């Protein structure tokens, strides 16, 4: 299949998801409390079968799903993505018991997941994490987790988290192990952080939290690969989220500039406006094609996945920032009024340039791959 076009089934599915986002999910999102997990919204994503599509879906299908949701309801898109990323390591590296216990609950929207990688001193440099997993003298094949995770989406409300800790003395990426840590473990706490974000972001504090080999995801010492495998899958779809927001902003701008009159005619008849909209449309389409290409490369098992994923994430998120900002400018003051679509998108569009690898990190990944 060409990455430059969607087949009729894919196109119809995208339209269906857009409609569900606007009609079924949007009202639930509006009733949510900013900065807290919207469990009714997560449950509805599960009942509609959308969460179940995340596990086992191709990277391209995941991108189409995220783009379509983002166009109609960014909160629903984010809730779905957080479920997917938080449980990705369970799906990819979990034991049969771990998958059977947690994946159906996540897919149904009954269990909320978190991906706990970032720390106060280890954000973009994930290999610098310091959360310690020290051997538990009282439990064979047991550890005690001590330290803090910060800027964790769905924390501290998640029902479980994929947690990355240092089990060995090696520096950098070596000696890191991934653990599945359910909420309620002794010594596990956390708090919300007040962030420019409608979904919860917080800390997880580990004060001797007990874990055993039964909680390990993958292999002991192989946690960095577990993390990168999850991120390589989701990075192109972060780009898809950005494309969905850019597309929504573009559609709003086309409608506004066609109807709004100024200087004796509709805004669209002003060359400066028309050229700006043309630039917005061109960049959005270019970003969409890069995302589709990166997803197709992932699905094909290309050796260039880190590079293409980084390129897609970088270009799409930077493009979305440009398009939303330009849309606000063309709408004028009304776009900054609380409750306006563009006011909402303007707040939403900033974070994707940072999380799951900031734009600067993506450029470093691309350069490293080019010179390899």
User: pTM of this prediction?
Assistant: 0.93
What is the distance, to the nearest Å, from the Cα of residue 278 to the centroid of all Cα atoms in its chain? 28
Least confident of 109-118, 199-208, 224-233: 224-233
For residue 199, the model assigns a pLDDT of: 84
Q: What is the pLDDT averaged over residues 257-278? A: 94
Please state the domain extents for the chain. 8-108, 113-221, 225-371
State mean pLDDT over 254-281: 94
- β-pair partners for 128: none
258: CB partners within 8 A, 6+ apart: 266, 267, 268
**267-280: average pLDDT:** 97
pLDDT tens digits along 167-201 = 988 877 889 999 999 999 999 999 999 998 878 99
Confidence of residue 262 (pLDDT cuts 50, 70, 90): confident
Q: Which of 125, 136, 76, 116 is nearest to 201 (CA)?
A: 116
Please provide the CATH number assigned to the domain covering 225-371.
Answer: 1.20.140.10
Q: 212 pairs with which residues across the strands?
A: 142
How confident is the model at residue 158, as a pLDDT?
98
The CATH number of the domain covering residues in 113-221: 2.40.110.10
Q: Measured between alpha carbons, how far is 277 from 354 in angstroms, rounded to an integer?
A: 26
> Does the pLDDT of residue 283 top 90, yes or no?
yes
Place 4 in a pLDDT band, splitting at 50, 70 and 90: low
Taking only the tens place, the pLDDT of each residue in 287-325 is 999 999 999 999 999 999 999 999 999 999 999 999 999
- Are 150 and 206 in contact by the 8 Å Cβ rule? The answer is no
pLDDT (average), residues 2-10:
74
Name the CATH superfamily housing domain 8-108.
Answer: Acyl-CoA dehydrogenase/oxidase, N-terminal domain (1.10.540.10)
Long-range interactions of 266-274: CB distance < 8 A, separation 24+: 267/330, 273/330
Q: Which are the catalytic amino acids?
A: 356
User: How does residue 232 score in pLDDT terms, banded at 50, 70 and 90?
Assistant: confident
What is the token pair recorded at 285?
């389409």
Cβ proximity of 75 and 197 under 8 Å = no
User: Concatenated DSSP letters for 103-130?
Assistant: HHHHHHTSS-EEEE--BTTBSS-GGG--
| C-alpha closest to that of 6 among 313, 310, 289, 308 | 289
* CB-based contact 124:131 (threshold 8 Å): no
The residues, ordered by sequence, that sit 6+ positions from 46 with a Cβ below 8 Å of its Cβ are 52, 107, 108, 109, 110
N-to-C CA span, the chain: 29
- The closest of 118, 165, 169, 162 to 142, measured between CA atoms, is 165
Beta strand pairing status for 201-212 and 265-266?
unpaired
Q: Using DSSP, how many helices (H) and how many strands (E) does the chain show?
A: 11, 10
Mention every residue, 6+ apart, whose C-beta is less than 8 A from residue 175.
166, 167, 168, 169, 221
Structure-token match 């090696």, residue found: 170
Beta strands per DSSP E along the chain: 113-116, 132-135, 142-153, 160-166, 176-182, 188-189, 201-212, 216-217, 261-262, 265-266
């Amino acid at each position: 299949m060409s990455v430059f076009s969607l087949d009729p089934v894919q196109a119809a599915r995208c339209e269906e998801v857009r409609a569900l986002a606007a009609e079924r999910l949007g009202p639930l999102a509006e009733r949510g409390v900013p900065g807290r997990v919207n469990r009714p919204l997560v449950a509805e994503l599960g009942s509609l079968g959308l969460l179940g599509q995340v596990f086992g879906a191709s990277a391209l299908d995941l991108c189409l799903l995220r783009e379509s949701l983002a166009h109609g309801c960014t909160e629903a898109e984010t809730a779905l993505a957080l479920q997917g990323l938080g449980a990705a390591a369970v799906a990819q590296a979990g034991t049969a018991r771990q998958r059977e216990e947690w994946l159906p609950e996540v897919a149904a929207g009954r269990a909320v997941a978190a991906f706990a990688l970032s720390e106060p001193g280890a954000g973009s440099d994930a290999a610098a994490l310091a959360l310690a997993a020290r051997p538990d003298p009282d439990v064979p094949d047991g550890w005690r987790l001590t330290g803090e995770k910060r800027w964790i989406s769905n924390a501290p409300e998640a029902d479980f988290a994929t947690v990355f800790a240092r089990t060995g003395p090696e520096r950098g990426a070596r000696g890191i192990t991934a653990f599945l840590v359910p909420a309620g473990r002794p010594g596990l706490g956390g708090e919300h952080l007040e962030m420019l974000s409608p979904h919860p972001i917080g800390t997880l504090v580990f004060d001797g939290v007990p874990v055993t080999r039964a909680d390990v995801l993958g292999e002991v010492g192989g946690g960095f690969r577990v993390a990168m495998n999850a991120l390589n899958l989701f990075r192109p779809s972060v780009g898809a989220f950005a494309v969905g927001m850019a597309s929504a902003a573009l559609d709003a701008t086309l409608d506004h500039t066609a109807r709004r009159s100024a200087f004796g005619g509709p805004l669209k008849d002003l060359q400066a406006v028309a050229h700006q909209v043309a630039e917005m449309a061109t960049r959005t389409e270019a970003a969409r094609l890069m995302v589709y290409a990166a997803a197709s490369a992932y699905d094909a098992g290309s050796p260039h996945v880190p590079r293409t994923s980084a390129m897609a994430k970088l270009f799409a998120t930077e493009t979305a920032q440009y398009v939303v900002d330009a849309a606000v400018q063309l709408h004028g003051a009304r776009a900054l009024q609380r409750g306006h679509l563009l006011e909402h998108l303007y707040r939403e569009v900033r974070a994707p340039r940072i999380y799951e690898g900031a734009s600067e990190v993506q450029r470093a990944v691309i350069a490293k791959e080019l010179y390899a």
